[in-house]
Amino acid sequence: MSTVTRFAPSPTGRLHVGNIRTALHNWMLARKAGGRFILRIDDTDAARSREEYVDAIRADLTWLGLDWDREERQSARLDRYEVAFDALRAAGRIYPCYESAQELEVKRKIALSRGLPPIYDRAALKLSDAERAAKEAEGIQPHWRFLLDHAEPIRWEDGIRGAQKFDAAQLSDPVIRRADGSWLYMMPSTIDDIDMGVTQVLRGEDHVSNTAVQIQIFTALHAAGFAATSGAAKAVPDFAHEALLVGREGKLSKRLGSLGCDAFRERGIEPESIVALLARLGTAQPVEPIAERAVLTDSFDLSSFGRAPAKFDEEDLERLNAAIVHQLPFAAVADRLPEGMDEAGWHAIRPNLAHVGEAADWWRLVTGPVDQPDFTPDDRAFLAEAAAALDWNEDPWGTLTAALKQSTGRKGRSLFLPLRQALTGMDHGPDMGELLPLIGEDEARARLTRAAQA
Protein backbone atom coordinates (compact mmCIF):
# COMPACT_ATOMS: atom_id res chain seq x y z
CA MET A 1 0.00 0.00 0.00
CA SER A 2 1.56 3.25 -1.00
CA THR A 3 1.88 6.06 1.49
CA VAL A 4 -0.49 8.99 1.17
CA THR A 5 -0.09 11.99 3.47
CA ARG A 6 -1.77 15.35 3.54
CA PHE A 7 -1.21 18.86 4.77
CA ALA A 8 -4.52 20.48 5.65
CA PRO A 9 -4.21 24.19 6.43
CA SER A 10 -7.21 26.42 7.03
CA PRO A 11 -6.87 29.48 4.80
CA THR A 12 -7.60 31.90 7.61
CA GLY A 13 -4.08 33.31 7.76
CA ARG A 14 -0.53 32.86 6.52
CA LEU A 15 1.49 29.73 7.26
CA HIS A 16 3.75 30.05 10.29
CA VAL A 17 6.78 28.01 11.34
CA GLY A 18 4.60 25.41 13.07
CA ASN A 19 2.48 24.82 9.95
CA ILE A 20 5.55 24.82 7.75
CA ARG A 21 7.06 22.09 9.91
CA THR A 22 3.91 19.96 9.65
CA ALA A 23 3.80 20.45 5.88
CA LEU A 24 7.49 19.57 5.53
CA HIS A 25 7.23 16.42 7.61
CA ASN A 26 4.21 15.16 5.72
CA TRP A 27 5.95 15.93 2.45
CA MET A 28 9.05 14.05 3.60
CA LEU A 29 7.05 11.02 4.74
CA ALA A 30 5.43 10.80 1.33
CA ARG A 31 8.57 11.49 -0.69
CA LYS A 32 10.71 9.06 1.29
CA ALA A 33 8.14 6.31 0.71
CA GLY A 34 7.66 7.21 -2.95
CA GLY A 35 4.04 7.96 -2.07
CA ARG A 36 1.76 10.94 -2.60
CA PHE A 37 1.38 14.24 -0.78
CA ILE A 38 -1.98 16.02 -0.82
CA LEU A 39 -2.61 19.69 -0.19
CA ARG A 40 -6.05 19.94 1.35
CA ILE A 41 -7.52 23.36 1.91
CA ASP A 42 -9.77 23.24 5.00
CA ASP A 43 -12.10 26.04 4.02
CA THR A 44 -15.43 25.03 5.52
CA ASP A 45 -15.41 28.19 7.59
CA ALA A 46 -16.60 30.51 4.82
CA ALA A 47 -16.57 33.58 7.03
CA ARG A 48 -12.89 33.31 7.95
CA SER A 49 -11.41 31.63 4.87
CA ARG A 50 -9.92 33.90 2.23
CA GLU A 51 -8.77 33.23 -1.29
CA GLU A 52 -5.68 35.38 -0.82
CA TYR A 53 -4.53 33.00 1.93
CA VAL A 54 -5.08 29.99 -0.34
CA ASP A 55 -2.79 31.67 -2.89
CA ALA A 56 -0.27 32.53 -0.20
CA ILE A 57 -0.23 28.92 1.07
CA ARG A 58 0.49 27.66 -2.44
CA ALA A 59 3.18 30.29 -2.95
CA ASP A 60 4.87 29.51 0.37
CA LEU A 61 4.89 25.76 -0.25
CA THR A 62 6.30 26.38 -3.71
CA TRP A 63 9.02 28.64 -2.34
CA LEU A 64 9.92 25.93 0.17
CA GLY A 65 10.07 23.35 -2.62
CA LEU A 66 7.23 21.27 -1.15
CA ASP A 67 5.37 20.13 -4.23
CA TRP A 68 2.00 18.42 -3.94
CA ASP A 69 0.49 15.71 -6.10
CA ARG A 70 -3.13 16.61 -5.58
CA GLU A 71 -5.06 19.59 -4.30
CA GLU A 72 -8.48 19.37 -2.69
CA ARG A 73 -10.80 21.89 -1.11
CA GLN A 74 -13.36 21.10 1.51
CA SER A 75 -15.71 23.79 0.20
CA ALA A 76 -16.00 21.77 -3.03
CA ARG A 77 -16.96 18.62 -1.15
CA LEU A 78 -20.02 19.74 0.81
CA ASP A 79 -22.34 17.34 -1.05
CA ARG A 80 -20.15 14.47 0.03
CA TYR A 81 -20.32 15.54 3.67
CA GLU A 82 -24.09 15.64 3.37
CA VAL A 83 -24.16 12.01 2.24
CA ALA A 84 -21.96 10.96 5.16
CA PHE A 85 -24.06 13.00 7.54
CA ASP A 86 -27.26 11.26 6.41
CA ALA A 87 -25.61 7.85 6.69
CA LEU A 88 -24.32 8.45 10.22
CA ARG A 89 -27.61 9.96 11.29
CA ALA A 90 -29.49 6.94 9.95
CA ALA A 91 -27.06 4.77 11.92
CA GLY A 92 -27.93 6.70 15.08
CA ARG A 93 -24.46 8.25 15.43
CA ILE A 94 -25.49 11.87 14.97
CA TYR A 95 -28.09 13.67 17.06
CA PRO A 96 -29.58 17.16 17.16
CA CYS A 97 -28.95 19.50 20.09
CA TYR A 98 -30.71 22.71 21.01
CA GLU A 99 -28.66 24.27 23.79
CA SER A 100 -27.50 27.82 23.31
CA ALA A 101 -23.85 28.74 23.82
CA GLN A 102 -24.82 30.33 27.15
CA GLU A 103 -26.61 27.20 28.36
CA LEU A 104 -23.59 25.09 27.50
CA GLU A 105 -21.33 27.51 29.31
CA VAL A 106 -23.49 27.30 32.44
CA LYS A 107 -23.39 23.47 32.31
CA ARG A 108 -19.64 23.65 31.95
CA LYS A 109 -19.23 25.93 34.94
CA ILE A 110 -21.48 23.81 37.11
CA ALA A 111 -19.50 20.67 36.29
CA LEU A 112 -16.21 22.44 37.02
CA SER A 113 -17.49 23.85 40.31
CA ARG A 114 -18.37 20.30 41.37
CA GLY A 115 -14.87 19.17 40.50
CA LEU A 116 -16.14 17.20 37.49
CA PRO A 117 -14.69 17.22 33.98
CA PRO A 118 -16.79 19.52 31.75
CA ILE A 119 -18.17 16.73 29.57
CA TYR A 120 -21.37 17.32 27.65
CA ASP A 121 -24.21 15.60 29.54
CA ARG A 122 -26.09 14.36 26.46
CA ALA A 123 -29.25 16.10 27.62
CA ALA A 124 -30.35 16.57 24.01
CA LEU A 125 -30.10 12.84 23.38
CA LYS A 126 -32.79 12.27 25.98
CA LEU A 127 -35.30 14.64 24.39
CA SER A 128 -38.51 13.07 23.14
CA ASP A 129 -39.78 13.68 19.63
CA ALA A 130 -42.39 16.05 21.10
CA GLU A 131 -39.75 18.04 22.99
CA ARG A 132 -37.63 18.37 19.86
CA ALA A 133 -40.63 19.45 17.86
CA ALA A 134 -41.41 22.05 20.52
CA LYS A 135 -37.86 23.48 20.31
CA GLU A 136 -38.11 23.73 16.54
CA ALA A 137 -41.53 25.31 16.81
CA GLU A 138 -39.85 27.95 18.98
CA GLY A 139 -37.59 28.59 16.00
CA ILE A 140 -34.47 26.95 17.48
CA GLN A 141 -32.45 25.26 14.77
CA PRO A 142 -30.42 22.31 16.05
CA HIS A 143 -26.68 21.92 15.92
CA TRP A 144 -25.42 18.36 15.65
CA ARG A 145 -23.21 16.11 17.72
CA PHE A 146 -21.53 12.83 16.94
CA LEU A 147 -22.46 10.13 19.44
CA LEU A 148 -19.32 8.56 20.84
CA ASP A 149 -19.57 4.89 21.70
CA HIS A 150 -18.62 4.66 25.36
CA ALA A 151 -18.28 0.89 25.10
CA GLU A 152 -15.72 1.07 22.31
CA PRO A 153 -12.20 1.53 23.67
CA ILE A 154 -10.09 4.00 21.71
CA ARG A 155 -6.55 2.88 21.10
CA TRP A 156 -3.86 3.56 18.57
CA GLU A 157 -0.15 3.08 18.21
CA ASP A 158 1.11 6.61 17.70
CA GLY A 159 4.14 6.90 15.42
CA ILE A 160 5.76 9.29 17.90
CA ARG A 161 3.96 8.92 21.24
CA GLY A 162 3.65 5.14 21.29
CA ALA A 163 0.57 3.31 22.58
CA GLN A 164 -2.35 5.69 23.20
CA LYS A 165 -5.57 4.92 25.00
CA PHE A 166 -8.68 7.04 25.56
CA ASP A 167 -11.92 6.37 27.37
CA ALA A 168 -14.73 7.69 25.18
CA ALA A 169 -16.81 8.37 28.29
CA GLN A 170 -14.25 11.00 29.30
CA LEU A 171 -14.84 12.94 26.08
CA SER A 172 -17.73 15.17 25.03
CA ASP A 173 -19.70 14.13 21.99
CA PRO A 174 -18.21 16.58 19.50
CA VAL A 175 -20.32 19.15 17.74
CA ILE A 176 -19.78 18.38 14.07
CA ARG A 177 -22.22 20.80 12.47
CA ARG A 178 -23.51 24.22 13.39
CA ALA A 179 -27.14 25.29 13.47
CA ASP A 180 -26.63 27.20 10.21
CA GLY A 181 -25.63 23.93 8.51
CA SER A 182 -21.92 24.77 8.28
CA TRP A 183 -19.34 22.14 9.21
CA LEU A 184 -16.83 22.05 11.99
CA TYR A 185 -13.46 20.50 11.34
CA MET A 186 -13.95 17.07 12.90
CA MET A 187 -16.09 15.09 10.44
CA PRO A 188 -15.16 16.55 7.03
CA SER A 189 -11.50 15.85 7.79
CA THR A 190 -12.30 12.20 8.50
CA ILE A 191 -14.41 11.79 5.35
CA ASP A 192 -11.62 13.39 3.31
CA ASP A 193 -8.98 11.11 4.78
CA ILE A 194 -11.11 8.11 3.79
CA ASP A 195 -11.99 9.36 0.30
CA MET A 196 -8.44 10.45 -0.47
CA GLY A 197 -6.91 7.19 0.76
CA VAL A 198 -4.76 8.92 3.38
CA THR A 199 -2.62 6.27 5.06
CA GLN A 200 -0.73 8.43 7.57
CA VAL A 201 -1.87 11.47 9.51
CA LEU A 202 1.02 13.40 11.01
CA ARG A 203 0.17 16.58 12.91
CA GLY A 204 0.80 18.49 16.11
CA GLU A 205 0.03 17.05 19.52
CA ASP A 206 -2.71 19.64 19.96
CA HIS A 207 -4.73 17.22 17.81
CA VAL A 208 -4.34 14.15 20.03
CA SER A 209 -7.84 14.35 21.51
CA ASN A 210 -9.27 15.07 18.03
CA THR A 211 -7.67 11.83 16.92
CA ALA A 212 -9.44 9.93 19.70
CA VAL A 213 -12.77 11.27 18.45
CA GLN A 214 -11.91 10.85 14.79
CA ILE A 215 -10.99 7.20 15.26
CA GLN A 216 -14.59 6.56 16.28
CA ILE A 217 -15.85 8.62 13.33
CA PHE A 218 -13.63 6.57 11.00
CA THR A 219 -15.03 3.36 12.43
CA ALA A 220 -18.62 4.60 12.23
CA LEU A 221 -18.15 5.73 8.63
CA HIS A 222 -16.55 2.44 7.76
CA ALA A 223 -19.50 0.57 9.29
CA ALA A 224 -21.80 2.77 7.20
CA GLY A 225 -20.03 1.64 4.05
CA PHE A 226 -17.53 4.45 3.54
CA ALA A 227 -14.23 3.03 2.42
CA ALA A 228 -11.27 4.39 0.49
CA THR A 229 -11.96 4.05 -3.21
CA SER A 230 -8.45 2.68 -3.67
CA GLY A 231 -9.71 -0.41 -1.84
CA ALA A 232 -6.31 -1.07 -0.38
CA ALA A 233 -6.35 1.68 2.22
CA LYS A 234 -7.16 0.74 5.78
CA ALA A 235 -10.24 1.79 7.76
CA VAL A 236 -8.24 4.05 10.07
CA PRO A 237 -4.96 5.69 9.02
CA ASP A 238 -1.80 5.56 11.11
CA PHE A 239 -1.44 8.55 13.39
CA ALA A 240 1.57 10.40 14.71
CA HIS A 241 1.57 13.58 16.79
CA GLU A 242 4.58 15.81 17.08
CA ALA A 243 5.53 17.75 20.17
CA LEU A 244 4.85 21.42 19.61
CA LEU A 245 7.38 23.99 18.54
CA VAL A 246 8.35 26.53 21.17
CA GLY A 247 10.56 29.61 21.24
CA ARG A 248 14.09 29.66 22.57
CA GLU A 249 12.92 30.22 26.13
CA GLY A 250 10.92 27.03 25.92
CA LYS A 251 7.56 28.78 25.83
CA LEU A 252 4.89 28.80 23.18
CA SER A 253 5.70 32.13 21.70
CA LYS A 254 3.47 34.59 19.97
CA ARG A 255 6.30 35.42 17.65
CA LEU A 256 6.42 31.89 16.25
CA GLY A 257 2.75 32.16 15.43
CA SER A 258 3.43 35.04 13.10
CA LEU A 259 6.81 34.05 11.73
CA GLY A 260 6.37 32.83 8.16
CA CYS A 261 7.97 32.64 4.72
CA ASP A 262 7.70 36.37 4.00
CA ALA A 263 9.67 37.24 7.11
CA PHE A 264 12.29 34.61 6.31
CA ARG A 265 12.61 35.74 2.72
CA GLU A 266 12.98 39.37 3.73
CA ARG A 267 15.74 38.44 6.13
CA GLY A 268 17.58 36.54 3.42
CA ILE A 269 16.95 33.09 4.85
CA GLU A 270 17.09 30.37 2.20
CA PRO A 271 14.25 27.86 2.00
CA GLU A 272 16.87 25.13 2.28
CA SER A 273 17.95 26.48 5.66
CA ILE A 274 14.40 26.38 7.01
CA VAL A 275 14.00 22.88 5.65
CA ALA A 276 17.32 21.69 7.14
CA LEU A 277 16.39 23.09 10.55
CA LEU A 278 12.77 21.98 10.69
CA ALA A 279 13.48 18.53 9.29
CA ARG A 280 15.47 17.59 12.37
CA LEU A 281 14.46 19.93 15.15
CA GLY A 282 13.00 17.94 18.02
CA THR A 283 14.47 14.68 16.76
CA ALA A 284 17.46 12.69 17.97
CA GLN A 285 19.25 13.50 14.70
CA PRO A 286 21.67 16.44 14.67
CA VAL A 287 20.60 19.63 12.92
CA GLU A 288 23.20 20.09 10.19
CA PRO A 289 23.59 22.44 7.24
CA ILE A 290 22.42 19.88 4.71
CA ALA A 291 21.53 21.64 1.49
CA GLU A 292 20.66 18.48 -0.36
CA ARG A 293 16.99 17.74 0.14
CA ALA A 294 17.32 14.04 -0.65
CA VAL A 295 19.75 13.54 2.23
CA LEU A 296 17.23 15.02 4.67
CA THR A 297 14.34 13.10 3.19
CA ASP A 298 16.18 9.76 3.25
CA SER A 299 17.14 10.21 6.89
CA PHE A 300 13.68 11.41 7.96
CA ASP A 301 12.44 9.02 10.62
CA LEU A 302 9.42 9.39 12.91
CA SER A 303 10.98 7.11 15.50
CA SER A 304 13.73 9.68 16.06
CA PHE A 305 11.21 12.28 17.27
CA GLY A 306 11.26 13.17 20.95
CA ARG A 307 8.32 13.93 23.22
CA ALA A 308 9.74 17.21 24.52
CA PRO A 309 8.78 20.46 22.76
CA ALA A 310 11.11 21.33 19.91
CA LYS A 311 12.92 24.63 20.46
CA PHE A 312 13.05 26.95 17.51
CA ASP A 313 15.95 29.35 17.79
CA GLU A 314 16.29 32.11 15.22
CA GLU A 315 20.02 32.38 15.86
CA ASP A 316 20.44 28.71 14.98
CA LEU A 317 18.58 29.44 11.78
CA GLU A 318 20.96 32.30 10.94
CA ARG A 319 24.00 30.12 11.54
CA LEU A 320 22.56 27.32 9.50
CA ASN A 321 21.71 29.76 6.74
CA ALA A 322 25.29 31.00 6.46
CA ALA A 323 26.55 27.43 6.24
CA ILE A 324 23.94 26.59 3.60
CA VAL A 325 24.76 29.72 1.54
CA HIS A 326 28.41 28.61 1.45
CA GLN A 327 27.29 25.47 -0.36
CA LEU A 328 24.74 26.85 -2.79
CA PRO A 329 25.59 26.30 -6.43
CA PHE A 330 25.68 29.27 -8.82
CA ALA A 331 22.55 28.08 -10.61
CA ALA A 332 20.54 28.28 -7.39
CA VAL A 333 21.35 31.96 -6.85
CA ALA A 334 22.22 33.38 -10.29
CA ASP A 335 19.04 35.45 -10.58
CA ARG A 336 19.72 37.12 -7.25
CA LEU A 337 23.34 38.15 -7.90
CA PRO A 338 24.62 41.56 -8.99
CA GLU A 339 25.01 42.10 -12.70
CA GLY A 340 28.18 40.67 -14.14
CA MET A 341 28.85 38.32 -11.26
CA ASP A 342 29.60 34.95 -12.80
CA GLU A 343 30.17 31.48 -11.42
CA ALA A 344 33.81 32.18 -10.50
CA GLY A 345 32.71 35.36 -8.74
CA TRP A 346 30.08 33.46 -6.79
CA HIS A 347 32.58 30.83 -5.71
CA ALA A 348 35.08 33.47 -4.57
CA ILE A 349 32.54 35.46 -2.58
CA ARG A 350 30.19 32.76 -1.27
CA PRO A 351 32.29 31.82 1.80
CA ASN A 352 31.97 35.39 3.14
CA LEU A 353 28.21 35.57 3.06
CA ALA A 354 25.63 35.06 5.75
CA HIS A 355 22.93 35.95 3.21
CA VAL A 356 22.95 35.83 -0.58
CA GLY A 357 21.87 39.49 -0.66
CA GLU A 358 25.28 40.56 0.67
CA ALA A 359 26.96 39.36 -2.54
CA ALA A 360 26.50 42.81 -4.07
CA ASP A 361 28.61 44.47 -1.35
CA TRP A 362 31.46 42.05 -1.86
CA TRP A 363 31.17 42.21 -5.64
CA ARG A 364 32.01 45.90 -5.44
CA LEU A 365 35.53 44.82 -4.46
CA VAL A 366 35.82 43.38 -7.93
CA THR A 367 34.10 46.10 -9.92
CA GLY A 368 35.54 48.96 -7.85
CA PRO A 369 36.13 51.74 -7.13
CA VAL A 370 37.85 50.70 -3.92
CA ASP A 371 38.58 52.98 -1.04
CA GLN A 372 42.23 52.47 -0.12
CA PRO A 373 43.70 53.44 3.25
CA ASP A 374 46.81 55.63 3.65
CA PHE A 375 49.96 53.55 3.43
CA THR A 376 53.31 54.13 5.12
CA PRO A 377 56.24 55.03 2.83
CA ASP A 378 57.55 51.54 3.40
CA ASP A 379 54.34 49.94 2.26
CA ARG A 380 54.14 52.30 -0.71
CA ALA A 381 57.54 51.12 -1.90
CA PHE A 382 56.43 47.55 -1.39
CA LEU A 383 53.24 48.12 -3.37
CA ALA A 384 55.19 49.75 -6.20
CA GLU A 385 57.31 46.65 -6.35
CA ALA A 386 54.12 44.56 -6.36
CA ALA A 387 52.74 46.52 -9.32
CA ALA A 388 55.92 45.80 -11.24
CA ALA A 389 56.05 42.16 -10.21
CA LEU A 390 52.44 41.38 -11.19
CA ASP A 391 52.60 38.47 -13.57
CA TRP A 392 49.36 37.29 -15.15
CA ASN A 393 49.14 33.52 -15.34
CA GLU A 394 46.97 30.67 -13.97
CA ASP A 395 47.61 31.77 -10.39
CA PRO A 396 48.56 35.46 -10.32
CA TRP A 397 48.12 35.79 -6.53
CA GLY A 398 50.30 32.76 -5.71
CA THR A 399 52.94 33.94 -8.16
CA LEU A 400 52.89 37.53 -6.91
CA THR A 401 53.12 36.70 -3.21
CA ALA A 402 55.85 34.11 -3.74
CA ALA A 403 57.94 36.59 -5.77
CA LEU A 404 57.46 39.40 -3.22
CA LYS A 405 58.29 37.14 -0.33
CA GLN A 406 61.56 36.33 -2.03
CA SER A 407 62.46 39.83 -3.07
CA THR A 408 61.38 41.72 0.06
CA GLY A 409 61.72 39.13 2.81
CA ARG A 410 58.22 40.06 3.99
CA LYS A 411 55.93 37.30 5.17
CA GLY A 412 52.58 36.76 6.93
CA ARG A 413 50.57 39.85 7.69
CA SER A 414 53.12 42.38 6.44
CA LEU A 415 53.21 40.59 3.11
CA PHE A 416 49.46 39.96 2.62
CA LEU A 417 47.66 42.83 4.34
CA PRO A 418 48.96 45.83 2.29
CA LEU A 419 48.25 43.87 -0.89
CA ARG A 420 44.72 43.05 0.18
CA GLN A 421 44.13 46.66 1.29
CA ALA A 422 45.45 48.08 -1.96
CA LEU A 423 43.51 45.63 -4.12
CA THR A 424 40.19 45.63 -2.22
CA GLY A 425 40.24 48.51 0.27
CA MET A 426 39.41 45.97 3.00
CA ASP A 427 41.32 44.24 5.79
CA HIS A 428 39.53 40.98 5.30
CA GLY A 429 37.33 39.32 2.72
CA PRO A 430 37.24 36.67 0.06
CA ASP A 431 40.19 34.49 -0.77
CA MET A 432 42.60 36.68 -2.77
CA GLY A 433 43.63 33.75 -4.95
CA GLU A 434 40.07 33.61 -6.24
CA LEU A 435 39.43 37.35 -6.19
CA LEU A 436 42.49 38.61 -8.06
CA PRO A 437 41.65 36.88 -11.38
CA LEU A 438 38.18 38.45 -11.16
CA ILE A 439 39.61 41.95 -10.64
CA GLY A 440 41.69 41.41 -13.77
CA GLU A 441 45.25 42.30 -14.67
CA ASP A 442 44.92 45.93 -15.74
CA GLU A 443 42.66 46.93 -12.90
CA ALA A 444 44.86 45.12 -10.34
CA ARG A 445 47.97 46.88 -11.60
CA ALA A 446 46.16 50.21 -11.58
CA ARG A 447 45.06 49.73 -7.96
CA LEU A 448 48.56 48.73 -6.82
CA THR A 449 50.08 51.69 -8.66
CA ARG A 450 47.58 54.12 -7.21
CA ALA A 451 48.22 52.82 -3.68
CA ALA A 452 51.98 53.17 -4.20
CA GLN A 453 51.59 56.82 -5.21
CA ALA A 454 49.17 57.97 -2.55
Q: What does the binding site for ligand GLU look like in residue numbers (CB under 6 A)?
A: 8-10, 42, 185, 189, 203, 207
Element (H, E) at 38: strand 36-41
Closest approach of ligand GLU to the CB of residue 96, in Å:
25
* Residue whose beta carbon is closest to ligand GLU: 42
Closest approach of ligand GLU to the CB of residue 61, in Å:
14
Please say which residue, 201 or 348, places its beta carbon nearer to ligand GLU.
Answer: 201
Please say which residue, 241 or 447, places its beta carbon nearer to ligand GLU.
Answer: 241
Closest approach of ligand GLU to the CB of residue 50, in Å:
15
Closest approach of ligand GLU to the CB of residue 318, in Å:
28
Please say which residue, 52 or 394, places its beta carbon nearer to ligand GLU.
Answer: 52
Query: Can you spell out the DSSP letters for 68-86?
Result: -SEEEEGGG-HHHHHHHHH
C-alpha torsion 10→16→21→27, nearest 10? 50
CB 148 within 8 A of CB 168: yes
Q: How far apart are CA 45 and CA 71, in angstroms?
A: 18
Closest approach of ligand GLU to the CB of residue 293, in Å:
23
Of the chain, the end-to-end C-alpha distance in Å amounts to 76
Element (H, E) at 55: helix 51-64
Backbone angles phi, psi at 117, to 5 degrees: -65, 140
Closest approach of ligand GLU to the CB of residue 124, in Å:
26
Task: List, in sequence order, every residue forming a beta bridge with 203; answer none if it has no partner.
Answer: 241
Please say which residue, 145 or 207, places its beta carbon nearer to ligand GLU.
Answer: 207
Please say which residue, 38 or 349, places its beta carbon nearer to ligand GLU.
Answer: 38
Closest approach of ligand GLU to the CB of residue 197, in Å:
15
Please say which residue, 3 or 189, places its beta carbon nearer to ligand GLU.
Answer: 189
Residues in the chain: 454
Please say which residue, 189 or 372, places its beta carbon nearer to ligand GLU.
Answer: 189
Contacts made by residues 297-305, CB under 8 angstroms, sequence distance 24+: 297/28, 297/31, 297/32, 298/32, 300/25, 300/28, 300/29, 300/32, 302/29, 302/159, 302/160, 302/202, 302/240, 303/159, 305/160, 305/240, 305/242, 305/243
